[in-house]
Amino acid sequence: MADYKPNHLNEKLKEREQEELKNKDLNSSENKPLALDDSQRVKVLSPARLVTKRFLKNKLAITGLAILIVMFTMCFLGAALYPYGQTDKFYKIAPLELDYAVCGELSSYTKYFVNEADMNDPVLDDLKLKFDSYIIQMESSNETELSVLQGDIEFIIEKVVDRVYVGYIAAQMEDFGTFDPILGEITAGETVEGLAEVLSSAVKEKKESVEFDGDIYFIKQVSKTKVSLSRLTAIDGEKKTIIATKLVFDAVNHKEQIDNKFKIAVLQNIADQTKPFTYGDKSYSFDQEDSDNLIIKDESGDPYVYISRYSTRHASGEDSLDLTFKMKAASIVDQLEAENAATYSFEYEVPQINPDTEQYDLDENGNIILTKETVNVVRKETAGERSFYFKYNMNRKLITIYEKPSAAHILGTDGDGYDVFARILFGGRVSLLVGFVVVILETILGVIMGGIAGFFGGWVDTLIMRLVDIFYCIPTMPIMIILASVFDAYKVDPYQRLFWMMVLLGVLGWSGIARLVRGQILSLREQEFMIAAEATGLRTSKRIFKHLVPNVMPQLIVSMTMGLGGVILTESSLSFLGLGVKHPLATWGNMINSVSTIEAMKSYTYIWVPVGILICLTVIAFNFVGDGLRDAFDPKMKR
Amino acid sequence: MDDKKFNNEVNQNDPGNDVVLEVRNLKKYFPIKSSFLRLVIGHVKAVDGISFKIKRGTTMGLVGESGCGKSTAGRTILRLLEKTEGEVIFNGKDIFKLSRKELRAIRPKIQIIFQDPYSSLSPRMPVGEIIGEAVKEHNIVPPEEYNDYISRVMKACGLQEYHKDRYPHEFSGGQRQRICIARALALNPDFIVCDEPVSALDVSIQAQIINLLKQLQNEFNLTYLFISHDLSVVEHISDTVGVMYLGNLVEYADTEQIFARPLHPYTKALFSAIPVPDPDYKMERIVLEGSIPSPANPPKGCKFHTRCNECKAKGLRVCEQIEPPVKEVEPGHFCACHLYDTVEEMERFEKELAEIDAKIAAKANAKK
């Protein structure tokens, strides 16, 4: 308990009161006429209630408050109750025309080594690499045989039938020796009878090469008395051979893989199709069904392999289509090629995909269920290559983007298949939260800094005000852009981004409030009531918080509420520019951003109009409430 | 009867000291700073050495034309402004030697009522809180009595209890001044500086407030320093009167004495301006020429000599060079003017004057 000194003033006042009471008793016996006492007439309200009452009388402020209450319940409670979340994607099952198969001629030849052992031969490998270009050379000059001297090696490429070529190493060059054309003497490791005559006549005729006894001799004049000789010797016995073909082998049973060796055997015997050939222990025969398809039948006469010009594959590249479709495709492509047409459509039994499992529909036996669909064929040419795409409508699970408002989605869905209304609710949470946190941060910083500067003045004031000037100069936008790029670089979590954005906006925004508070306090502290407060011996803290701060309060509240609207706008524009809160976290700003092109804005008004209206409404409501509070706080206002 | 008994009680705490406040040679200079570099290039001598004593339960009036340093003197006495020189002794303690804590403890004992009742009340505080705030702070009454105490104080100042929850802007000027008085009174002060408390009010309200102050003084044995430029008000309320001119106290005496026989030429001129509510009465006003000199650069010698009719008429050179000391011309009547110099003093000043002349002459010669 504090020590109370005897207070003579209080004692005297009490005495006076007692006396007055006595007099009053005496007076009351005189039966005074009844009069309305001022103390009975005036109803006294506490200051807080007075402010509330004044505030409630302001219609605009009430409207604003109602809007804000609706907004808050909607965003904070409504979002919790609404069935959809902000990142719930919505799907629908709808037919989508997708590629089923691709058919076309092979663009390059497939090469087979006749002997597996040759696979690692570098010379043959060289031939394999250049095979396609030799074939092109042959096709353009319409030759059936081509001999190429590649370094010391001679290759020979022969056309067997259309689209089948055989290439092998025919001969090899070696140094033979020298020849003296004047003496007609050959200096060599071996002696070839009669060569000298042929050579001397060839040298006289200045031939570069001469054929003798199946070998070709190349002549190179070194001097008048010396000619160097090299001999191209044909390789005897089994030749190292590559078979190249553009023909495609399709087994009748499409699940069966055809051995490369079988293909080689077929290709080796393809020149004479009348003769049957043997592979392994079995004998096979050729059969020409139509102009294009060659059929190879096994011993029992059943078709075993179809040979076609066209390769028909699944759109995924898998070779899992059955032969009937392949043959059908090949005939269609033939027809189209003949007509030089680009499109065609036909009915065909094709498999359907289950949209949920993304697998083919299977019956109980595990076989693919086929349904009749219209298959469209489209020709596509890329880099001179021509292929035909077989498409039909498949039932697929599709994201419901840009769906018009409906009962399921009150405001439709956006470009990511999210429910727009859910995103409005969750986005409102973020926008309002950002507004409040930033403004509170700004105000705390601003009141502390401005209050210190205003109350103490002098060098403290100068220092803080220069700091305020510096903060005024800091451009928010470039800093936000830099920060956004830093966040992008480090792939910062959207929530953390939000937090840092709030901190930055708060730290950059306090200077205005600090200036306001400082200005108010500077003028207030010179008022006589502050001197009176000092004269009554009040503590500094009380002088600041009971006399100065309440007087700054109205301006502060107005600037806070106006600031709230401003911060919501800033956040929206930052998010709109992609600098603020990032997708998939929703805010009102980045929702508008999702329809930033003129075309999108025209077509998807149901996405951006409600968000835009909400932003406007919120900002206006904050301003109304701010105005209302200012009027309510000002006791001089009479309304 | 009660007053006397009560006085005895107080005096027992403070035995044998009837003087509440003594001001000794108080000076308050405001520095004049250059706009560039903020160097001090001079001083405004608002209060330039004033001394007086106020006895318990009396009122001292402080008069003078505007700008003569009355209000500054009042505020410096309360240490709302820091002094430049001098002492203010309140109940035996020098106010300027107190620590912050001690000063805060003594604050309730010395209060101030301001001229402008509009700006001296915090606009966002209900009246009850304005009056009671410091009461709580200084534990003037126990918390259970607080509400009743505030009501009693308000009643004593002519306010109603229900005014407590109202804001200052709902009151008229006179009522506001009552609130200011209640605020000062609630702290149970010994001494109140009334800094022109009625000059912002109209005449009928002035009388109410003056009477309230007088009544409170009688009832609670208060001591006032009543600063005003309204001489009739001062005559009405004061026991003693001090006249200030350009930071100096030029004359100081009991009210009857000074009004009956003003000594200083400035006082005479000032008093001649008191309006008399009688249309037949012919006023003999002494018109002072020129205006009040700048307190930053006051004249040498007697500060009033530039405007003094008597000095000019008599051609006294001493007024121009030598500052007149404050002396008791009559018993209890102090005045600072060369007109009332005794023969010895005159001789002494003549000598000093001759010395000054010689110095000036020497300087002039040296220059040549």
Say what the pLDDT of residue B200 is.
Answer: 84
* DSSP 8-state secondary structure symbol assigned to residue A235: P
Residues in CB range of A260: below 8 A, 6 or more apart: A112
How much of chain B exceeds pLDDT 90, in percent?
26
pLDDT tier for residue B15 given thresholds of 50, 70 and 90: very low
Give yes or no for B122 touching A (CB within 8 A): yes
pLDDT tier for residue B112 given thresholds of 50, 70 and 90: very high
How far, in Å, CA of B45 to CA of B30, rounded? Answer: 7
Say what the pLDDT of residue A325 is.
Answer: 82
Closest to B195 (Cα-Cα) out of B313, B256, B115, B91: B115
Residues in CB range of B17: below 8 A, 6 or more apart: B11, B91, B92
Say what the pLDDT of residue B194 is.
Answer: 93
Give yes or no for B191 touching A (CB within 8 A): no
Residue ranges of alpha helices (H) inside A270-342 are 323-339
How far, in Å, CA of A509 to CA of A564, rounded? Answer: 11
Contacts of A542 in chain B (CB under 8 A): 133, 137
Whole-number average pLDDT of chain A:
82
Indicate if the pLDDT at residue B6 is higher than 60: no
Indicate if the pLDDT at residue A63 is higher than 90: yes
- The reply to whether residue B161 touches residue A546, judged by beta carbons under 8 angstroms, is no
Report which secondary-structure segment, H or E, holds A517.
Answer: helix A494-525
Closest to B134 (Cα-Cα) out of A543, A524, A549, A553: A543
How far, in Å, CA of B46 to CA of A544, rounded? Answer: 29
- The reply to whether residue B108 touches residue A538, judged by beta carbons under 8 angstroms, is no
Say what the pLDDT of residue A411 is.
Answer: 85
Residues in chain B: 368
Indicate if the pLDDT at residue A156 is higher than 80: yes
Say what the pLDDT of residue A249 is.
Answer: 83
Say what the pLDDT of residue A153 is.
Answer: 82
The whole-angstrom distance between B349's CA and the closest CA on chain A is 44
Task: Report whether the peptide linkage leading into residue A95 is cis, meaning its omega lies within 30 degrees of zero.
Answer: no
Q: What six digits make up the tokens of A217?
A: 């001799």
pLDDT (average), residues B112-139: 88
Contacts of A632 in chain B (CB under 8 A): none
pLDDT digits over B212-246, tens only? 999 999 888 899 999 998 888 899 899 999 999 98
Residues in CB range of A463: below 8 A, 6 or more apart: none
- The reply to whether residue A16 touches residue B112, judged by beta carbons under 8 angstroms, is no
- CA distances (Å), origin A230, targets A168, A189, A212, B13: 21, 12, 12, 144
DSSP codes, A519-545: HHHHHHHTSHHHHHHHHTT--HHHIII
Q: Please report the domains of chain A, with CATH numbers, ordered by start residue.
A: 110-240 (no CATH), 249-267+274-399 (no CATH), 427-638 (1.10.3720.10)
pLDDT digits over A328-371, tens only? 888 888 888 888 888 888 888 888 777 777 777 777 777 777 88
pLDDT digits over A392-428, tens only? 888 888 888 888 888 888 888 888 888 889 999 998 9
Indicate if the pLDDT at residue A464 is higher than 60: yes
Q: Which of B33, B98, B120 to mutate to test the interface with A (most CBs of A within 10 A)?
A: B120
pLDDT digits over B265-314, tens only? 999 888 888 888 888 887 778 888 888 888 888 888 888 888 888 888 88
Closest to A571 (Cα-Cα) out of A487, A515, A499: A499
Q: What ipTM does the predicted assembly reach?
A: 0.83
- The reply to whether residue A547 touches residue B125, judged by beta carbons under 8 angstroms, is yes
* Whether A102 contacts A390, CB under 8 Å: yes
Strands A385-399 and A370-382: antiparallel
pLDDT tier for residue B26 given thresholds of 50, 70 and 90: very high
* Whether B212 contacts B157, CB under 8 Å: yes
pLDDT (average), residues A183-195: 74
Residues in CB range of A153: below 8 A, 6 or more apart: A123, A169, A171, A172, A173
User: Which residue's structure tokens are 């089994």?
Assistant: A238
Helices (H) and strands (E) in chain B, counts: 13, 12
- The reply to whether residue B133 touches residue A546, judged by beta carbons under 8 angstroms, is yes
3-state secondary structure at position B171 = coil
* Whether B164 contacts B149, CB under 8 Å: no
pLDDT digits over A514-556, tens only? 999 999 888 888 888 888 888 888 888 888 878 888 888 878 8
pLDDT digits over B127-162, tens only? 998 998 888 888 888 888 888 889 888 988 888 888
Say what the pLDDT of residue A45 is.
Answer: 62
- The reply to whether residue B137 touches residue A636, judged by beta carbons under 8 angstroms, is no
* Whether B53 contacts B19, CB under 8 Å: yes
Strand extents, DSSP E, chain B: 19-33, 40-55, 59-63, 85-90, 93-94, 110-113, 191-195, 223-227, 240-245, 248-254, 327-330, 333-335
The whole-angstrom distance between A633's CA and the closest CA on chain B is 9
Q: What six digits make up the tokens of A565?
A: 């609207």
Say what the pLDDT of residue A26 is.
Answer: 60
Strand extents, DSSP E, A222-281: 227-234, 241-245, 248-251, 277-279
Q: CB-hemisphere CA count at 13 Å for A72?
A: 11
Report which secondary-structure segment, H or E, holds A267.
Answer: helix A260-269
pLDDT digits over B311-325, tens only? 888 877 888 888 888
pLDDT tier for residue A375 given thresholds of 50, 70 and 90: confident
pLDDT digits over A304-339, tens only? 888 888 888 887 777 777 778 888 888 888 888 888
How far, in Å, CA of B75 to CA of B99, rounded? Answer: 18
C-beta pairs of A59-66 under 8 Å, 24+ apart in sequence = A60/A624, A60/A627, A60/A628, A61/A624, A61/A625, A61/A627, A61/A628, A61/A629, A61/A631, A61/A632, A62/A628, A63/A621, A63/A624, A64/A620, A64/A621, A64/A622, A64/A623, A64/A624, A64/A625, A64/A628, A65/A621, A65/A624, A65/A625, A65/A628
Hey, which of A88-92, A441-445, A628-632, B343-347 has the most confident mean pLDDT?
A441-445
Indicate if the pLDDT at residue A2 is higher than 70: no
3-state secondary structure at position A16 = helix
Indicate if the pLDDT at residue B10 is higher than 60: no
pLDDT (average), residues A495-507: 89
The angle at the Cα of B321, spanning B315 to B325, to the nearest 5 degrees, equals 100
Enumerate residues 287 to 346 of chain B having a beta carbon within 8 A of any beta carbon in chain A: none
Say what the pLDDT of residue B13 is.
Answer: 46
Say what the pLDDT of residue B251 is.
Answer: 92
Say what the pLDDT of residue B59 is.
Answer: 93
Q: CB-hemisphere CA count at 13 Å for A127?
A: 31
- CA distances (Å), origin B192, targets A326, B58, B108, B217, B227: 116, 11, 10, 10, 11
3-state secondary structure at position B291 = coil
How far, in Å, CA of A572 to CA of A424, rounded? Answer: 13
pLDDT tier for residue B12 given thresholds of 50, 70 and 90: very low
Contacts of B160 in chain A (CB under 8 A): 38-39
Q: Which of A17, A53, A536 to mutate to test the interface with B (most CBs of B within 10 A)?
A: A536
pLDDT (average), residues A614-638: 84
Contacts of A10 in chain B (CB under 8 A): 140-141, 145, 149, 152, 188
Residue B149 phi, psi dihedral angles, 5° rounding: -60, -45
Model pTM? Answer: 0.65
Residue ranges of alpha helices (H) inside A73-227 are 79-81, 122-141, 195-204
How far, in Å, CA of B178 to CA of B159, rounded? Answer: 7
* Whether A75 contacts A618, CB under 8 Å: no
Say what the pLDDT of residue A28 is.
Answer: 53
The whole-angstrom distance between B29's CA and the closest CA on chain A is 19
Enumerate residues 201 to 240 of chain B having a beta carbon within 8 A of any beta carbon in chain A: 219-220
Residues in chain A: 639
Q: What six digits make up the tokens of A355?
A: 């949209």
- The reply to whether residue A39 touches residue B160, judged by beta carbons under 8 angstroms, is yes
Say what the pLDDT of residue A1 is.
Answer: 41
Say what the pLDDT of residue B210 is.
Answer: 92
* Whether A33 contacts A390, CB under 8 Å: no
pLDDT digits over A255-292, tens only? 777 888 888 888 878 777 777 888 877 888 887 766 56
Closest to A588 (Cα-Cα) out of A618, A559, A620: A618
- CA distances (Å), origin B143, targets A226, A535, B342: 138, 22, 62
Say what the pLDDT of residue A287 is.
Answer: 79
How far, in Å, CA of B213 to CA of A539, rounded? Answer: 28
pLDDT tier for residue B330 given thresholds of 50, 70 and 90: confident
The whole-angstrom distance between B77's CA and the closest CA on chain A is 11
The whole-angstrom distance between B137's CA and the closest CA on chain A is 7
pLDDT (average), residues B165-175: 85
Contacts of B127 in chain A (CB under 8 A): none
- CA distances (Å), origin A505, targets A438, A559, A591, B114: 6, 16, 21, 45
Closest to A583 (Cα-Cα) out of A416, A349, A453: A416
